[in-house]
Amino acid sequence: MKIIAYGIRNDEKPYLDEWVANHPDVEVKSEPKLLDENTVDEAKDFDGVVAYQQKTYTATVLDKLGSFGIKSLSLRNVGVDNIDAEAAKRNGIKVSNVPAYSPAAIAELAVTEMMRLLRRTKKFEDKERHGNLTWAPDIAEEMNQQTVGVFATGRIGRQVIDIVRGFGAKVIAYDPYPNPKLKKEGVYVDTPEELYKNSDILTLHAPALKENEHMINDETIGQMKDGIRIINCARGSLIDTDALIRGLDSGKIKGAALDVYEDEVGIFNVDFGSFDKIPDARLKNLMERDNVLITPHIAFYTKVAVKNMVQYALDANVSLIKTGTSDKEVKL
Ligand code: COI
């Protein structure tokens, strides 16, 4: 069995090598380049493809894979929003993802950012760089006093709930598909509006869907509690960035932490050499604010998560090749 793994980074290589050592019957070619029109021909003569990228898996690429007889594409991440689903279906390509490589990795960053906003660490670090070791005016707020609103209670949202409860925060949540255990505990509110109105901190954990694109917009921000803080470690498309900026400017939003950004592709995980060279004025506007924390989509970037992403994706690809199905197959 021969698998080609695209976009393999140096930090993934040891986990890939470890998997290969434990699967002597599978040959894995590791390709550092992403899967696109220029590299797809390398997949000829392979049985399956493993990939991770934020760039689109286009119809041209999927048609080519189909023409090579490849029927399995295993992503090393969760999101499948960048796959041309129609093209995958018409080529009979089954797609798997890694739905839970480490919910804790994402949840821990979300809570870290809540704490950083409450304790104003960005402001203190900035003052320190200028030799200013004073306290005022940056007095903090405490997590145990906050109502944390969790939008979507899948694995990650539930992990966030567990962690913030440890701090003594009050938790409320909204999910169109409530979790039975949380429902019994009375955590849910009935509508997103109720969540917005009653949260001191709103943390988003929904996948990117057509229906929730820009769910955080001028209207929904208007429904929020004055002085809300917003955390997004989920998908950039959930937030209308211009509306967020207006909310920050007016003071309606007291702070925001974004690990994802709607225009992040081609910007995050790139070294531009200096702040001035970052080619996105809105992002720089946000980065310059002391009440906004930007991280370049690093929530997943832990040793445990990266290992699981590589090894679970390879397991899923073998399963798709051998049996035509996998417990990680995604219905597109
Ligand atoms: C995903 O798993 O879909 C992510 O967002 C993480 C990705 C940047 C590797």
pTM, 2 dp:
0.94
Report the pLDDT value the prediction gives residue 5, as an integer from 0 to 100. Answer: 98
Catalytic residue, candidates 264, 288, 289, 329: 264
For 103-294, CATH number out of 3.40.1580.10, 3.60.90.10, 3.40.50.720, 3.40.47.10 equals 3.40.50.720
Length of the chain: 332
Given CATH 3.40.50.720, say whether it is the number of domain 2-101+303-330. yes
Q: Please check whether residue 315 is in contact with residue 81, taking contact to mean a CB–CB distance below 8 angstroms.
A: no
pLDDT at position 310:
98
Which positions ≥6 away from 126 have C-beta within 8 Å?
A: 290
At position 127, the amino acid (one-letter code) is K
Residue nearest to atom 9 of ligand 1 (CA): 77
Instruction: Based on the residue annotation, tell me whether 116 is a catalytic residue of this protein.
Output: no
Q: pLDDT tens for residues 300-312?
A: 999 999 999 999 9
Q: Alpha-carbon Rg of the chain, whole angstroms?
A: 21
298: CA distance to ligand 1 center in Å?
Answer: 9
Q: Confidence band (pLDDT; 50, 70, 90) for 32? A: very high
Q: At what angle do helices 155-166 and 103-119 cross, to 10 degrees?
A: 40
- What pLDDT digit, counting tens, does each position of 214-258 carry? 999 999 999 999 999 999 999 999 999 999 999 999 999 999 999
Nearest to 262 by CA among 244, 284, 238, 243: 238
Residue 181: the pLDDT is: 98
DSSP per-residue string spanning 120-143:
THHHHHHHHHTT----TT-----G
Residue 331 corresponds to which tokens in the numbers above? 């219905």
What letter does residue 296 receive in the DSSP assignment? Answer: -
Complete DSSP assignment for 171-239: EEEE-SS--HHHHHTT-B-SSHHHHHHH-SEEEE-PPP-GGGTT-BSHHHHHHSPTTEEEEE-S-GGGB
Per-domain boundaries in the chain: 2-101+303-330, 103-294
DSSP states of 66-121? HHTT--EEEESSS--TTB-HHHHHHTT-EEE--TTS-HHHHHHHHHHHHHHHHHTH
d(CA 50, CA 7): 9
Q: Whose CA is nearest to atom 7 of ligand 1?
A: 77
Q: Is the CB of 77 under 6 A from ligand 1?
A: yes
Query: So what's the pLDDT on residue 311?
Result: 98
Q: Which residue has the tokens 């599978």?
A: 26
CA of 166 to the centre of ligand 1 (A): 26
Q: Are 73 and 88 in contact (CB under 8 A)?
A: yes
Catalytic residue among 76, 205, 229, 235: 235
Span 150-207, pLDDT tens digits = 999 999 999 999 999 999 999 999 999 999 999 999 999 999 999 999 999 999 999 9
How far apart are alpha carbons 200 and 195 in whole angstroms? Answer: 10
Q: Ligand 1 pocket, 321 CB below 6 A?
A: no
User: For residues 44 and 66, is the Cβ–Cβ distance under 8 A?
Assistant: no
Does 165 participate in catalysis according to the annotation? no
Is 235 part of the annotated catalytic residue set?
yes
CA nearest neighbour of 56 among 79, 89, 27: 79
